[in-house]
Structure 1
Amino acid sequence: MEFTAKKNNNATCDLSIQFSAEEVRTAYGKAYQNAAEKVKIPGFRPGKAPLNMVEKVLGDSVMDDAANIMLNQAMADLFDKLEHKPIRLPQFQMETFDKNTGAKAKATYDTKPEVTLPKLKKIKIQPKEIKISDADIQKELEGIQKNMARNSLKEESEPVEAADLLEINYKFKETGKEYPEQNQTGKFQMGAPQNPPGFETNLLGMKLNETKEFTFTYPDVYPASPESAGKSIIYTVTVTAVYKVTYPEINDDFASEVDGSANLQELKDKTKKQLVEIFGNALTKRATDDAYNEIIKESKFIIPESLIVEETETVFKNFMREFGLPVTSLSDYAKRLGKEEKEVRESFSKAAEKRIQTYILKQKIADDHKIQISEEEVEAGYEKEATAQGIPAETLKKEVQKQKAETYYRDKFLFDKIDEFVYAEVEKKSPKAISTEEAEKILSGKEE
């Protein structure tokens, strides 16, 4: 067997293999042996007929099997010799295949993606530094206060007030349609910020066991429930319980009840430290992502098209799973959106390409700078991950072993280490102090 391999400039390689006549005959022999177990020859049990008789009966009908046997063996023998490795088994075309003259096969296969990096120290980013105000701390304490709310059942004669918690039976229908047969039950917190504007005014003053029917028109733009926007809905609501909600006063006793703090000031100091850490970590991650975005802009990538196509399908399936959407094809999903498949596929394809770029970028940085992860660092990674999940490290490791996810977590810890290296290497301007409101916009992607 002889071969030639020519690397192309689009992450593919042209491979040509020449086989001798003897190699073709050997492949035919193996194909006949494999077929002997199944072929029926009069006078012989399956698998017991002489091979020359099997060959006479089957003739060239096993040619495809013989070619596959020969090519699979060839790739096993060639793999270590190829300078540019295939990322999947090449699809060969047989140009010739003859027992007397030999065979020739060719294929163009995809190679590993390639990237040329800029110097990391030339990459510039603008880190953000969180500035925690007294109002931020107060807001956080009020959130804790709400979680410590105490509910006391109100008397039957007491009306619903602005901050009460209700238990209700209800049903609803769109104007001009029929009510469903069964009622639904639920809780409704008066004054909650997520309530539709003006909805709760219909409930004010109601009493226990009272039933009321009313029509509510949703705003023309209502992101919380887009399917309700602009519609007039008729509700029938029965109040089955009314609770007066009271909150503990934010003082030294409150601080002690929250976490055993000696006084309110100590709790405020702890709260500020926690906010600085939470926002600080999130903003550092965002700055690291910014660094990668800049590195990607300055890098040169060669990625096989087939890899992007495969990753596009993965990104699409992950999207459908994340949002709990029914399993369907990308083309059917595009039809449901009323858009061209090409347009929808392109949006997922861009995300797929970005994922591939980021992945090979990190691998290249790790290779160039010899970044590896030790067993001690893996253990520390498990400890950190377990703390974040609020479980013991041993519990996490047992679950990881059960799910056979050790490689996933080892790669995760390695990539975390690469992220830290990249953030340390790039040039950082003086941190810009920002408020929590600004930070939330940045972290949610709503920054202008």
Structure 2
Amino acid sequence: MEFTAKKNNNASCDLTITFSAEEVNSAYKKAYQSASAKVKIPGFRPGKAPLDMVEKVLGESVMDDAANIMLNHAMAELFDKLEHKPIRIPQFQVETFDRKTGAKAKATYDTKPEVTLPKLKKIKIQPVEIKISEEDLTKELEAMQKSLARNALKEESEPVEANDLLEIQYKFKEEGKEYPENLQTGKYQMGHTNNPPGFDAELLGLKLNDEKEFSFQYPDVYPASPESAGKVYQYQVKITAVYRVTYPEINDDFATEVDGSANLQELKDKTKKQLAEMFQAALKRKNLEEAYVEILKESKFIIPESLIAEETQSVFQNFMNEFHMPQMSLADYAKRLGKEESEVKASFATAAEKRIQTYLVRHKIGEEQKISLSDEEMEKGYEKEAQSQGIPVDALKKEVQKQKAETYYRDKFLFDKIDEFVYAEVDKKSAKSVSTEEAETLLSRKE
């Protein structure tokens, strides 16, 4: 057997293999041996007939099997010798296959994608530092205060007031439609920020067991329920309980009740630190995203089209699962949107290509810098992950083993370490100080 392999400039390789007549005859022999257990020859049990009789009966009918046997054996032998390895089994075209003259087969197969990185120190980002204000602290303390609310049942004669908590039975319908048959039950917090403007006014002054029917038009812009925006609904409401909501005073006793802090100042200090850490971690992730965007722009990639096609399908399926959509093909989804399949596919392909590029860049950085994980770092990774999921580390490890997800988590922890290296290497300008409002705006931006 002889072979030639020519690397192309599109992450593919042309492979040609030639075989001697002896190798072709050997492949035929193996094909006859494989078929002997199934062929029926009078006077012999399956698998017991002499091989020359099997050959006479089957003749050239085993040629395809012989060719496959020969090529599979050839690839097993050639794999380590190939400078550019295939990422999947090559599909060969057999040009000649003759017992007297030998055989020749050709294949063009996809090779591993390639990436050339820029110098990381040439990548510039603008670090951001969070500035926690007294107003931010006040908002956090008020949120804690609300979590410790005390509800006292009001007397039957006491009317609903601005900050009361109500238990209600209700029905509602869009104007012009029929009410549903059954009542719903629920709680309604007067004065809540998500309440539609003007809705509370319909309930003010009602008392226990009062019933009211009214119409209400939602504002044209209502993020809490976009499907209701601008529409008019009819409501039937019955008050089944009214609670006076009171909140503890924000003082030293309050601080102790929240988390055991010795005094209010200690709670403030801890809250400020936690807020800063939370925002700083999110802003750092955003900085890393920006760094990778720039790295991708400056990197050079050669990626097989087949790999992008596979990842495109994966991105599409993840999208369907994330939004709990019924299973359908990309073509059917495009038809459902009223768009051309090529247009919809291109949008998913763009996301797929970016995902592949980001993976390749991180992997290449780790490879060039010889970044690896020690057992101790792996253990710390599990501890951190378990903490973020709010479960014991042993429970996480047990689930990882059950799901056979060890490789996934090893890659995740390794990429976290690579990300730390990237953040340390890129050129960081003087840090910019921002408020929490500015930070939230930055974090909401999509690259």
TM-score (normalised: structure 1):
0.94
- Aligned partner of 1:161: which letter? E
Q: Cα–Cα, structure 1 residues 149 and 94, in superposed 2: closer, same or farther, change >3 Å?
A: same
How many residue pairs match? The answer is 447
Q: Which runs of 5+ in 1 are unaligned?
A: none
Partner deviation per Cα, 1:96-148 (whole Å, 9 max, x = no partner) = 22222222111111111111111111111100000110011111111111111
Residues 312-323 of structure 1: matches in 2 within 5 Å? 312-323=312-323
Greater mean deviation of Cα atoms: 382-391 or 83-92: 382-391
CA distance in 2, matches of 1:212, 1:50: 95
Whole-angstrom distance in 2 between the partners of 1:44 and 1:156: 98
Q: How much does 1:10 deviate?
A: 0.9
User: Quick one: percent identity of the two aligned structures?
Assistant: 77
> In the alignment, what sits opposite 1:228?
228
Aligned ranges for residues 98-177 of structure 1 at < 5 Å?
Answer: 98-177=98-177
1:248-267 matches, cutoff 5 A:
248-267=248-267
- Tell me the amino acid that sits aligned with residue 407 of structure 1: T
Mapped partners of 1:169, 1:22: distance in 2: 88
Change (3 A) 1:324 1:154: farther
Deviation at 1:405, TM superposition (A): 1.6
User: Structure 2 matches for 1:55-74, cutoff 5 A?
Assistant: 55-74=55-74
Where do 1:43-442 residues align within 5 Å? 43-442=43-442
CA gap of 1:3–1:252, structure 2 versus 1, over 3 A, is same
Q: Matches of 1:166 and 1:335 in 2, distance apart?
A: 47
Change (3 A) 1:35 1:150: farther
CA shift in 2, pair 1:56/1:124, >3 Å: same
| Amino acid in the other structure paired with 1:237 | V
Which whole-Å CA distance do the structure 2 matches of 1:52 and 1:12 have between them? 42
Q: Secondary structure at the match of 1:212?
A: strand
> Which residue is 2:28 aligned to?
28
Aligned-partner Cα distance in 1 for 2:274–2:204: 39
- SS of residue matched to 1:158: coil
User: Quick check: 425-434 or 32-41, which moved more?
Assistant: 32-41
SS at 2:196 equivalent = coil
Q: Deviations over 1:37-93 (max 9, x none)?
A: 333334433333333333333332332222222222211111111111111111111
Deviations 1:203-255 (A, max 9, x none): 33333333333323333344443333333232333333322222211111110
Could you tell me which amino acid in structure 2 is paired with residue 362 of structure 1?
Answer: R
Structure 2 unaligned residues grouped into runs of 5+ = none
1:354-407 CA deviation, whole Å, 9 max, x = no partner?
111111101111111111111111112122222222333233222222222221
Tell me, in whole angstroms, the C-alpha distance in 1 between the residues paired with 2:223 and 2:57. 72
Alpha-carbon distance between aligned partners in 1 of 2:331 and 2:160, rounded to the nearest angstrom: 51
AA aligned opposite 1:428:
K
CA apart distance, 1:446:
6.5
- 1:218, 1:37 → 2: CA distance? 77
CA distance in 2, matches of 1:229, 1:35: 71
What is the CA distance between 1:152 and its match in structure 2? 2.1
| Deviates further, 36-45 or 69-78 | 36-45
CA distance in 1, matches of 2:378, 2:93: 46
Give the direction of change, closer, same or farther, for the CA distance of 1:59–1:183 in structure 2 (3 Å limit). Answer: farther
Q: Give distance in 2, aligned partners of 1:167 and 1:317.
A: 42
Deviation of 1:162 (Å): 2.4
Q: Distance in 2 between matches of 1:309 and 1:291?
A: 26
TM-score (norm 2): 0.94
Is the alpha carbon distance of 1:270 and 1:70 closer, same or farther for their aligned partners in structure 2, counting shifts above 3 Å? Answer: same
Q: What secondary structure, in the 3-state scheme, does the structure 1 residue paired with 2:370 have?
A: coil
- Is 234-243 or 300-309 further displaced after alignment? 234-243
1: CA distance between counterparts of 2:244 and 2:338? Answer: 48
Instruction: Give distance in 2, aligned partners of 1:46 and 1:181.
Output: 72
Distance 2:223 2:4 in 1: 60
State the AA in 2 paired with 1:355. R
Per-residue CA deviation, residues 129-187 of structure 1 (Å, 9 max, x unaligned), is 00110011111111111111222222333333222222333333333333333333322
- The farther-off stretch of 35-44 and 24-33 is 35-44
TM-superposed CA distance for 1:261, in Å, is: 0.9
Hey, what's the Cα distance between the residues in 2 that align with 1:308 and 1:78?
Answer: 27
Once residues 333 and 222 of structure 1 are traced to their aligned partners in structure 2, the CA distance between those partners, rounded to angstroms, is 29
1:301-352 CA-to-partner distances (Å, cap 9, x unmatched) read 1111111111111111112222222222222222222322222222211111
Please report how far the alpha carbon of residue 428 of structure 1 lies from its aligned counterpart in structure 2 after TM superposition. 0.4
Range that drifts further, 187-196 or 261-270 = 187-196
Report the secondary structure of 1:209's partner residue: coil
Q: Which deviates more from structure 2 when the two are superposed, residues 230-239 or residues 245-254?
A: 230-239
CA distance in 1, matches of 2:291, 2:201: 50
Q: Give the SS at the match of 2:90.
A: coil
Amino acid at match of 1:103: A
Query: What is the CA–CA distance in structure 1 between the aligned matches of 2:155 and 2:338, rounded to whole Å?
Result: 54
Q: 249-258 or 225-234: which moved more?
A: 225-234
Seen in structure 2, the aligned counterparts of structure 1 residues 206 and 342 have a Cα distance that, compared at 3 Å, is farther
* Superposition deviation, residue 289 in structure 1: 1.4
Cα distance in 2 between the residues matched to 1:100 and 1:153: 100
Question: How much is the aligned-residue C-alpha RMSD, in angstroms?
Answer: 1.9
